[in-house]
Structure 1
């Protein structure tokens, strides 16, 4: 397994589904539809069986749990080429974007003071009041979503202005890495430096808990977020894509 695939395994540990079944080195995942990462097969490494059988298992696992079959695979990898050759197609209808850039930053142990502004940022070990309202997008709040976002060692970054939750971020510690996600700033409080302050705070929290490098995942089409993270010293490591079966090619084998 190469460095790109190993990092995908690390990221998957920061975003745990409710059900995860091994398929060789692949991972079949379900979280009641909350996010592609937690409801797809992570196709890295060796599935331990011929590809057609592995994809059949992906289909059956998804059908048994009421989600659409989908695989997450490192872009331009041997697995991706094989999945494409098997007739699967890019999941261009995936709402959050079917191609994702994985960014990393090394050695962030030096604390950077937040930009000027009348706000307070902290990273408690439990989600404070108001955190969920920004971290979860409309229609996402569910027991499954809350279970995914609270699994593992997590820090819940929050910025407060005049008693209101103005911004949030999630940090998760896995294998010496800080995995960053769910960065959001309320529309009324944007362009005040809160995103940078939240990133500084969650990196400091990560460093205090033993992490010295960070990773995050951003949809390729999210140019604003990519520009923000580039300005904070994050650089592309690799990309992954979601693939789905061609129509009619992944019927339930038990039907």
Structure 2
């Protein structure tokens, strides 16, 4: 059964941090600041202690590694209600959006598209389009290459025009980092990249795809709806109120 909790765990495994520690069912994650998913506590299931104590452990883990304490939690879940009760606030300053829609779709191989391929290793052009300003550092490259990954590349006029990342976890194809270069947009490359990645995933045993999109990204939501994706659940990032997350180990 694909509950929000089981799907969040699969998505976390498709986006592996450099450091991960268990806190009961919760997962404490660090990747030197590269993305919220790899630098927050995934608060699903039972942390094995009262939530106030669990949040203090989240704070200690984050402080020890120099990142802001943050939790990723399924919207409207008991864990989220408990976190709110402790005075934590929505992480509205999170760069890629603090409220996220998780979409899923059945997976089937499609026809090949000339110039669009999925590689076993990232190409230089893939890196160039995938990593945004200030993101090209070792932790980012480690997160993006962890696990069984397909690196989708669209080539036009000898240049890398678009890229996408696909990770295989437990029969799921986790899709991320879809990007089309500014000079190549509105040519159908995003759909072509998704089609190629779906084919790759199906050929490697996946039967469903999952991806995560910021709530307000209407263009991306429309694209994925047209490709057969439907909302599964939502999650949010929460941060501690100023002064409420002191390091108990100091």
Question: Normalized against structure 1, the TM-score is what?
Answer: 0.96
Q: Is residue 110 of structure 2 the alignment partner of residue 111 of structure 1? A: yes
Deviation at 1:113, TM superposition (A): 5.1
Structure 2: stretches of 5+ with no match in the other structure: none
1:14-29 to 2 correspondences below 5 Å: 14-29=14-29
Query: Matched residue of 1:123: which SS?
Result: strand
In the other structure, the counterpart of 2:4 is 4
Whole-Å Cα distance in 1 between the matches of residues 111 and 42 of structure 2? 35
Matched position secondary structure for 2:225: helix
Distance 2:144 2:2 in 1: 27
Residue of structure 1 in register with 2:169 after alignment? 174
Match of 1:239 in 2: 234
Kept in 1: contact 2:153–2:161 (CA 8 A): yes
Q: Secondary structure of the residue that 2:9 maps to in structure 1?
A: helix
Q: Return 5+ residue gaps in structure 1 as ranges.
A: none
Q: 1:169 and 1:250 mapped to 2: Cα distance?
A: 37
| Runs of 4+ with deviation above 3 angstroms | none
**RMSD of the alignment, in Å?**
1.2
Map 1:144-183 to 2 at 5 A.
144-183=139-178
- Which residue is equivalent to 2:89? 89
Partners of 1:159 and 1:73 lie apart in 2 by: 34
Displacement after TM superposition at 1:73 (Å) = 0.1
For residue 122 of structure 2, give the secondary structure of its aligned residue in structure 1.
Answer: coil
Query: What CA distance in whole angstroms lies between the structure 2 residues aligned with 1:13 and 1:45?
Result: 16
Deviation, 1:128, is 1.4
Number of residue pairs matched? 250
TM-score normalised per structure 2: 0.98
Cα deviations by residue, 1:196-245 (Å, 9 ceiling, x for unpaired): 00000000000000001000000011111011000111000000000001
Distance 2:207 2:4 in 1: 18
Pick closer, same or farther for the CA change 1:67–1:165 going to 2, 3 Å. Answer: same
Secondary structure of 1:29's aligned partner = strand
- 2:136 counterpart of 1:141: yes
Partner Cα separation in structure 2 for residue 4 and residue 217 of structure 1: 12
Q: 1:110, 1:152 → 2: CA distance?
A: 22
Structure 2 Cα separation of the partners of residues 232 and 155 of structure 1: 19
Q: Alignment partner of 2:119: what SS? A: coil
| Alignment partners' CA distance in 2, 1:97 and 1:204 | 29
Report the CA distance between 1:253 and its aligned residue: 1.3
Please tell me whether residue 53 in structure 1 is matched to residue 53 in structure 2: yes
